[in-house]
């Protein structure tokens, strides 16, 4: 008795569709992943202090650049805008702290102008940002 041997196709895994799926996933994550970037980068040289402490509570940061420009929430601001932002912040966080971070070379009058705007809005808890300098 003669049995004919069936010549079958060699079994193989078709990876073309797998490559398509992987390529689609790569494109998907490249397009829909949000990359966190800062809108404004401030090149500040903060003054150094040995007694600086980290703030563990809600804070609002106001930045004074070397040329005297004021920024609140990474947005250029004047005294009126700072007052509005501080009022909004204090409405939500009545015991919140406003941090002034100013370049060490900034003129004192610009820091006083920022402090004046904060106090005019009712903010009396003001901290100055420094870099920790070990003794």
Distance CA 86, CA 120 (A): 9
Distance CA 90, CA 79 (A): 16
- Residue-wise pLDDT for 76-114, tens only, equals 888 889 899 989 998 998 888 888 888 888 888 888 888
pLDDT value at 39 more than 50: no
Q: What domains appear along the chain, each with residue ranges and CATH number?
A: 48-132 (3.30.420.270)
pLDDT value at 57 more than 70: no
pLDDT value at 41 more than 60: no
Answer yes or no: are the C-beta atoms of 70 and 64 closer than 8 Å.
yes
For the CA atoms of 106, 58, 96, 111, what is the dihedral angle to 10 degrees? 0
Q: How confident is the model at residue 38 (pLDDT cuts 50, 70, 90)?
A: very low
Answer yes or no: are the C-beta atoms of 93 and 55 closer than 8 Å.
no
Burial grade of 111 (CB within 10 A; 0-12, 13-18, 19 or more): middle
User: What DSSP line would sit under 29-41, residue for residue?
Assistant: HHHHPPPP--S--
């Amino acid at each position: 008795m003669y049995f004919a041997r069936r010549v079958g196709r060699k079994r193989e895994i078709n990876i073309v569709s797998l490559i398509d799926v992987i390529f689609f996933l790569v494109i998907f994550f490249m397009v829909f992943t949000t990359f966190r970037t800062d809108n404004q980068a401030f090149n500040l040289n903060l003054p150094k202090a040995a007694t600086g402490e980290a703030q563990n509570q809600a804070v609002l940061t106001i930045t004074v650049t070397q040329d005297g420009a004021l920024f609140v929430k990474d947005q250029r601001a004047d005294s009126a805008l700072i007052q509005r932002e501080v009022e909004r912040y204090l409405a939500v966080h009545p015991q919140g702290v406003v941090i002034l971070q100013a370049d060490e070379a900034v003129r004192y009058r610009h820091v006083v102008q920022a402090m004046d705007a904060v106090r005019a809005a009712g903010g009396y808890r003001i901290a100055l940002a420094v870099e920790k300098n070990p003794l």
